[in-house]
Structure 1
Amino acid sequence: MKKPLEGLVVLEFSQFLAGPTAGLRLADMGARVIKIERPNGGDAGRQIAIKNLFVEDSSLVFHTINRNKESFAADLKDPEDLALVKKLIEKADVITHNFRPGIMEKLGLDYENVKLLNDKIIYAVVTGYGTKGPWSTKPGQDLLVQSVSGLTWLTGNKQDGPIPFGLSVVDMYCATHLTQGILAALIRRAKTNKSALVEVSLLESALDMQFEVLTSFLNDGNKNPNRSEIRGAGHAYLSAPYGIYKTTDSYIAIAMGDINKLLNVLSIDGKEYSDSATWFRDRDTILKILGENILSWNAKELELLLEENGFWSAEIKNYTDFLNSDGFLQSKMLHYVKLHSGNTLTTTRSVYQIDGKYFLSDKPAPKIGEHNAVIFNDYLND
């Protein structure tokens, strides 16, 4: 089946996570994504590693985010290389970059100059905090943006300090925003033949992630999140029973539900909580009562009981348990990439399913400049 973005050419000047993750999404949907990399060192993300894991001289993270792409090595400070890149821009559909404000202007590759080369280009930019203003030159890094945006005060309990997510969640969310913006601009271009400047920032993405709770804050007297005293409470803004509870053998998560019915199912006396207003006002007391009761239950047995009575619950699983579960196996999310060495890298597949088909490719992340010759032949040999 033909992929929806086949025939589109994306030049990826982006490094690290947000921009390249958007590029991965576009590549999975069929676009030809060409990384423009420095001849020496390439994308700085090649050296950003989790657990110091490297594969074939680049980090495992780099391989995860840059599979199914090509690499064109060019020194943008070299006039001859820059001229080649400009010729590539003439043939491209999309450009992405996450350079600090002013860098592309110095190179003559800012949006206004690129439009002179290609008046139909979709020019997509990721910044940390926008291109103007007092924070525009601050480093746009996931942990830092989590920290300044209030996000770290949503997880954990009242006795904890600020707690960051255990994922580069802002980068990934921003990558989704960038992908959406690019696709919207491509649709508009198909109708108007006009170029577009797409701009997203990590800060905006971090705020958009919090739109529900920020709206609550802004319309409820600007009261900061009130995290629970009870460890395992899952949400600063939601009523009991929302949270995670320890059992005799494991842990169980319980989402929203009628407290009166839940207490009755667990044979707990709770007449004083018949008014639903108490479910948030007395959240910590209710969570404590539930926790003490659930501590005597087996997780699987309790999950079955709650499901039978219409409560949303799930036994907590670690990666080992989850990856061996029927639910994960049914998802068929594992994907296998053939590395240059002949070894196989196991990762996750694209999530897009169109007309009942997933878009899969076993093409590995490129070596620096690996595709210079083929790209030169395809686009520059005239």
Structure 2
Amino acid sequence: MTQPTGPLKGLRVVDLTRVLAGPTCTQMLGDLGAEVIKIERPQAGDDTRGFAPPFMPNTRESAYFVGVNRNKQSVTLDISKSEGQAVVHRLLESADILVENFKVGALAKFGLAYDQLKEKYPGLIYCSITGFGQTGPYAPRPGYDALIQAMGGVMSLTGEIEGEPQKVGIPVADLFAGLYGTIGVLAALRHKQETGEGQQIDIGMLDTHVAWLANQGMNYLATGENPPRLSNQHPNIVPYQVFPTADGYMVLSIGNDPTFERFCKNFGLEHLLADERYATNAARVGNRALVTETLTAVTRSIPTDEWIAKLEALKIGCGPINTLDRVFADPHVKARDMLVRMEHASGESMTVIANPVKLSATPPDYRSAPPVLGQHTDAVLSRLGYSADEVAAMRGSGIV
């Protein structure tokens, strides 16, 4: 493992997370230079090690696990036993941050809850990521991405107009919770820098989901009316949606009246500008079905790639609906270095999705590929002062 170069270098994170929300947070901290020590269950490890197929080529590493666990050291440890808890405490003596996503109250059984640690480690930043947060009537419940998408309202807004509610195709509830957790950690680090004090960060997936209801949440608060599902249409802008083309589909994003005027004048629709039903965005929103029908008759006449070329030349927002093969082959995605090759402990080289945060002075670095289970147990315990005989004894008793 090479030395970190990011802005968080020198910081140590004890990572008691698994699956997606927590590992998203700790991978971001690792990418930014923190030393992340991931505690995993002996024999089993993070649940996502078993979320397969697919596996990464020529390995037994699940693609799911690999996606959110680079720049981490894997230590197998049974924290349900006192010897395992003692190892965690030894780690905390030099740690700055602990991130966990156990159910509320679960870590208290092991003496590792925030209230049990804060006096001994007053500078510790302790980030808890759970389904529903540390307080409130739902706090004891487990949280799952699809469940949170349902309860948080996003599924009511997603899907065909006459169809059933739909979840987003990637686990956005988990991802947003992890990223909000990172923001909380960075803010807490700033506070610690000023005061020396640590604190607990309480991230509830439902809270973060409600927070990013954004314009749709505000539409409800402004009107008291539940926004309807609009399929691929925008609730406040028309036309801003999927349109069929001669050979597929595209997204057309016309965000203001001058752009709509430019579109009409260049594609044989100038007569619409004299029709009050099309004249302003507010009028087009009120006549959504008519506008969609009118423009669909035009968009079907030209293939997608031809549309994109014509619209981009006019500086009108548009884009193809890419499958993932086209996403990763896109010249812009390539130019932005959004794929990274990393050498894995298996001996294989694997491609991972890069960190999107571009920092000019201290960019994210890619020191180590996602670890195999327990890859760093001996090295980390040795650094903590455990002898080879002590590690062997713990291994023999199932502690590591």
Same fold (TM over 0.5): yes
Q: Which runs of 5+ in 2 are unaligned?
A: 388-400
Distance in 2 between residues matched to 1:44 and 1:30, nearest whole Å: 25
CA spacing shift, 1:320–1:80, aligned 2, 3 Å: closer
The 1:154–1:118 alpha-carbon spacing in structure 2 relative to 1, beyond 3 Å, is same
**CA apart distance, 1:34:** 0.4
SS in structure 2 opposite 1:328?
helix
**Inter-CA distance 368–329: structure 2 relative to 1 (3 Å threshold):** closer
Among candidates 285, 288, 298, match of residue 283 of structure 1: 288
What corresponds to 1:108 in structure 2?
111
Structure 2 length normalisation: TM-score?
A: 0.88
1:49-86 CA distance string (max 9 Å, x none): 3x543674442111121111101221112112211211
Q: Can you list the C-alpha shifts for 1:258-296, whole angstroms capped at 9, x where unaligned?
A: 244433332133224224421111012101111121101
Aligned residue for 2:93, secondary structure, equals: helix
Within 2, Cα distance between the matches of 1:212 and 1:130?
Answer: 24
Q: Distance in 2 between matches of 1:175 and 1:123?
A: 14
TM-score, L = length of structure 1: 0.92
Residue in 1 that maps onto 2:264: 263
2:299 corresponds in structure 1 to 294
SS at match of 2:92: helix
Residue equivalent to 1:223: 225
CA distance in 1, matches of 2:375, 2:203: 30
Runs of 4 or more above 6 Å deviation: none
1: CA distance between counterparts of 2:256 and 2:160?
21
- Counterpart position of 1:247: 245
Equivalent residue for 1:234?
233
Asked if the contact 1:10–1:94 (Cα under 8 Å) also holds between the matched residues in 2, the reply is yes
Are the aligned partners of 1:90 and 1:117 in contact in 2 as well (CA < 8 Å)?
no
The residue type equivalent to 2:300 in the other structure is L
SS of residue paired to 2:341: strand
- Alignment size in residue pairs: 376
CA distance in 1, matches of 2:9, 2:154: 38
RCO higher in structure (CA 8 A, sep ≥6): 2
- Report the more deviating stretch, 178-187 or 241-250: 241-250
Q: CA deviation at 1:153?
A: 2.2
State how far apart, in whole Å, the 2-side matches of 1:345 and 1:362 are: 13
Structure 1 pair 79/63, CA: closer, same or farther in 2 (3 Å)? same
- For residue 378 of structure 2, the aligned residue among 373, 377, 380 is 373
Which of 106, 111, 129 is 1:126 aligned to? 129
* Secondary structure, counterpart of 2:298 in structure 1: helix
Q: Letter of the aligned partner of 2:241 in structure 1? A: G
Measure, in 2, the Cα distance between the counterparts of 1:320 and 1:48. Answer: 22
Q: 1:118-147 deviations in whole A, cap 9, x for unaligned?
A: 111000000101223332222211111001
Question: Is 2:352 the partner of 1:353?
Answer: no
State the secondary structure of the residue aligned to 1:136. Answer: coil
Match of 2:8 in 1: 5
Q: Secondary structure at the match of 2:327?
A: helix
1:324-378 alpha-carbon deviations (Å, 9 max, x no partner) = 3321221121101212221111111222332256333251222232222221222
Q: Is contact 2:6-2:362 (8 Å) kept?
A: no
